[in-house]
Amino acid sequence: MAMASLLSTVRPLSVKQSLYIKHPPYLSSLFYSTVKPRAQIKLRSLITAKSNGSDSADAPDRLISAITYFYPFFDGIQYGKYVITQFTPIQTLIQPLIPAIRVFKSFPFNGFLIFLTLYFVVVRNPNFSRYVRFNTMQAIVLDVLLIFPDLLERGFNPRDGLGLDLLMSLDSTVFLFLLVSLIYGSSSCLLGQVPRLPIVAEAADRQVL
């Protein structure tokens, strides 16, 4: 089956996963120290206005933001190998995405190249609205966090017994979190709202001025 062969692909440990580039904190302090107090207030008001409410982004911004949440989901699809094969509704939900997932997984460095593109072309580009940059950064942080279950799975790879049960539970939890994040993040963006994912939202905030 196409679904089974796709999920059996072993996800290589990419260089990207160790390349979580932290935004230098001194840049923020340097920036705000050079802006007049009144300008700071206006800037903060503008950022708040761009980050809240249903009118915070136009249609292209909403679409771009919604698409970025497919990145961590495609990168972590292999964690659904137990859930997808057991639940037909999830198979039906993911079936239309298989061609895109195949393209994503077709080259080992696709994930790394997309990571670089999203981070340096979108997140670090002031020509994009903060709405787009924040959502893109959330997707990146979510993907970077996949290094932890990946390392755990590589170091702890039981064949049967309680260890296998725990591994199946871990993989299924990671996959369901990615699926919920995709649905919640993309649907919120399409509605013009700001999704704030647990664990990753604050980290994304620190990376986006």
pTM of the model: 0.74
Compute the average pLDDT of residues 134-162. 90
Q: Using alpha carbons only, what angle is made at residue 102 by residues 99 and 105, rounded to the nearest 5 degrees?
A: 155
Q: Each residue of 187-205: pLDDT tens digit?
A: 999 999 999 999 899 999 9
**Which range is least confidently modeled, 43-52, 58-67, 161-170?**
43-52
Rounded to an integer, what is the distance from CA 104 to the centroid of its chain? 14
Residue at token pair 């061609």: 99
Is residue 145 within 8 Å of 202, Cβ to Cβ? no
- Could you tell me where the DSSP H helices lie in the chain? 2-7, 25-33, 37-51, 59-68, 70-75, 81-86, 88-94, 98-105, 110-116, 130-144, 147-155, 161-190, 201-207
Q: What is the pLDDT of residue 160?
A: 77
